[in-house]
Amino acid sequence: MNKTEILKALPTPCYVIDEQALIKNLEALHYVEEKAGCHILLAQKAFSSYCTYPLIAKYLSGTTASGIFEARLAFEEMGDRQIHVFSPAYKDEDFDELLKICGHIVFNSFSQWKHFRSRIPSDCKVQFGLRINPGYSEIETEIYNPCAENSRLGITEESFEENELDGISGLHFHTMCEQGADTLERTLAVVEEKFGRYLYNMKWLNLGGGHHISRPDYDREKLIRLVRNIREKYDLEVFIEPGEAVAINAGFLVTTVLDITKNGMNLAIVDTSAACHMPDVLEMPYRPMIVGSELPGVLPYTCRLGGPTCLAGDIIGDYSFEKPLSVGDKLIFTDMAMYTIVKNNTFNGMPLPSIYLLKADGRTELVKQFGYEDFKRRL
Ligand SMILES: *Cc1c(COP(=O)(O)O)cnc(C)c1O
């Protein structure tokens, strides 16, 4: 069986993580780590399918977490790798546990740093950093722009308290989204202009995520030059924490056509929902790809796909196919590993898709299966 046949044989809806594709991404990231002499961390918020953590640990330096739960997940499942954490604000009751399991803790403000620094034991090995907001980004979607006006994310140049840096060993910025090394170059110029004088006293700089390093057209050699340059100029360690670049194009969502109707155009209802199983389709928004389909109007049969929820806007997109769809047909959405499984929900009592791992040798393994109890337990 070829890959399409293997996927279409699975019960739906299901996510399928493609181990071979994941390895390809990890190889690209590992190459950058080696050549640039930096550390690359998986940003777990994009992809936390920990059945793959032992594999990821072979290629990357560790993970970054958005808070206590992701930090714990890495601690339990990734083995002996670095764990970094950044959160816009920590809670008192989580902080002591974070101190035990994280190597690096990044604060979003001087007030958070001052609040927690008195609770750090004197023999503590954790390194502390501050997230800066350079006020420069090339992200056009406001909801994804940490440098938008009045952003709560990161310390601006105006709010930087240079007399409160005792105990701080690194700076962190995250201002990119699905971007290339050119954007990083322009961003670094602003970071250096505004915060460069502090970097000479720092041990590390974290360049955040949003670097599309494993995309074929990404200029890895430029990234390597930029990282080496920064390392040498300020004599510090560099971290990069991509989420997307780890899991991009490394998974599928397989669905079955449940009904076909018409209202001004062909409509199909499938057993997966944009709102529940791929919320970025509505949030970003974007149109996911389906194997064997084209943009509407390109192939003879065009159809709008929607989910079985009662939300009018639960529309996945318009697609054209060689032949009309029929009830029972299976469709394969691509690039469904990242920002999907971590974001899904059971709105409308929608079942959660099962999770399969497609091994490099072509076997599929059922990782997780969900049912009514998973829905009920959260309510
Ligand atoms: C979202 C996020 C990342 C990962 O971003 P990607 O776009 O998935 O690479 C890394 N660091 C921080 C602080 C983030 O908020």
Q: How far is the CA of 173 from the centre of ligand 1 (A)?
A: 10
Is 24 a residue whose pLDDT tops 90?
A: yes
Is 1 a residue whose pLDDT tops 90?
A: no
Residue 248: what pLDDT?
98
Residue 163: what pLDDT?
98
Cα(224)–Cα(184) distance, rounded to whole angstroms? 11
Cα(174)–Cα(109) distance, rounded to whole angstroms? 14
Mean pLDDT across the stretch 112-117?
A: 98
Copy the structure tokens of residue 221: 């050699």
Is 207 a residue whose pLDDT tops 90?
A: yes
Q: How far is the CA of 72 from the centre of ligand 1 (A)?
A: 18
Q: What's the pLDDT tens digit per position in 221-266?
A: 999 999 999 999 999 999 999 999 999 999 999 999 999 999 999 9
Q: How far is the CA of 141 from the centre of ligand 1 (A)?
A: 15
Q: What's the pLDDT tens digit per position in 299-331?
A: 999 999 999 999 999 999 999 999 999 999 999
The set of residues, in sequence order, having a beta carbon less than 8 Å from that of 122 and lying 6+ positions away, is none
Burial 172-188 (b: 16+ CB within 10 A, else e): bbbbbbbbbbebbeebb
Q: What's the pLDDT tens digit per position in 256-300?
A: 999 999 999 999 999 999 999 999 999 999 999 999 999 999 999
Let me know the angle formed at the C-alpha of 105 by 84 and 190, rounded to the nearest 5 degrees: 90
Mean pLDDT across the stretch 68-91?
A: 97
- Nearest atom within ligand 1 for CA of residue 177: 7
Of 254, 367, 259, 255, which Cα lies nearest the Cα of 303?
Answer: 259
Copy the structure tokens of residue 104: 């690096």
Task: Give the pLDDT band of residue 123 (cuts 50, 70, 90).
Answer: very high
Of 55, 72, 70, which Cα lies nearest the Cα of 17?
Answer: 55
Beta-strand pair 251-262/266-270: antiparallel
Q: How far is the CA of 62 from the centre of ligand 1 (A)?
A: 14
The set of residues, in sequence order, having a beta carbon less than 8 Å from that of 157 and lying 6+ positions away, is 134, 135, 194, 195
Q: Is residue 43 lining ligand 1, measured as CB closer than 6 Å? A: yes
Residue owning the nearest CA to atom 1 of ligand 1 = 209
Superfamily (CATH H level) for 3-16+251-336+344-377: Lyase, Ornithine Decarboxylase; Chain A, domain 1 (2.40.37.10)
Copy the structure tokens of residue 278: 């791929």
Q: What's the pLDDT tens digit per position in 349-370?
A: 999 999 999 998 999 999 999 9
- Choose one of 29, 48, 85, 174 to mutate for the ligand 1 pocket test, by most ligand atoms within 8 angstroms of C-beta: 174
- Domain segments of the chain as ranges: 3-16+251-336+344-377, 37-247
Copy the structure tokens of residue 140: 């056009």
**Cβ–Cβ under 8 Å, residues 113 and 164:** yes
Is 75 a residue whose pLDDT tops 90?
A: yes
Q: What's the pLDDT tens digit per position in 163-198?
A: 999 999 999 999 999 999 999 999 999 999 999 999
**Cβ–Cβ under 8 Å, residues 167 and 117:** yes
Of 263, 284, 264, 262, which Cα lies nearest the Cα of 274?
Answer: 284
Is the four-CA dihedral 164, 168, 174, 180 of positive or negative sign?
positive
Cα(69)–Cα(16) distance, rounded to whole angstroms? 24
Helix 181-199, helix 220-234: angle, nearest 10:
10
Q: Hey, how many other C-beta atoms are within 10 angstroms of the C-beta on 158?
A: 8
- Choose one of 41, 45, 133, 240 to mutate for the ligand 1 pocket test, by most ligand atoms within 8 angstroms of C-beta: 45
Same topology for domains 3-16+251-336+344-377 and 37-247, yes or no? no
- The three-state DSSP-derived secondary structure of the chain is CCHHHHHHCCCCCEEEEEHHHHHHHHHHHHHHHHHHCCEEEEECCCCCCHHHHHHHHHHCCEEEECCHHHHHHHHHHCCCCEEEEECCCCCHHHHHHHHHHCCEEEECCHHHHHHHHCCCCCCCCCEEEEEECCCCCCCCCHHHCCCCCCCCCCECCCCCCHHHCCCEEEEECCCCCCECHHHHHHHHHHHHHHHHHHHCCCCEEECCCCECCCCCCCCHHHHHHHHHHHHHHHCCEEEECCCHHHHCCCEEEEEEEEEEEECCCEEEEECCCHHHHCCHHHHCCCCCCECCCECCCCCCEEEEEECCCCCCCCEEEEEEECCCCCCCCEEEEECCCCCCHHHCCCHHHCCCCEEEEECCCCCEEEEECCCHHHHHHCC
Superfamily (CATH H level) for 37-247: Alanine racemase (3.20.20.10)
Q: Hey, how many other C-beta atoms are within 10 angstroms of the C-beta on 261?
A: 9
Q: How far is the CA of 178 from the centre of ligand 1 (A)?
A: 10
**Average pLDDT of the chain, as a whole number:** 98
Q: How far is the CA of 243 from the centre of ligand 1 (A)?
A: 6
Is the four-CA dihedral 191, 195, 197, 203 of positive or negative sign?
negative
Q: What's the pLDDT tens digit per position in 125-147?
A: 999 999 999 999 999 999 999 99
**Cβ–Cβ under 8 Å, residues 309 and 294:** no
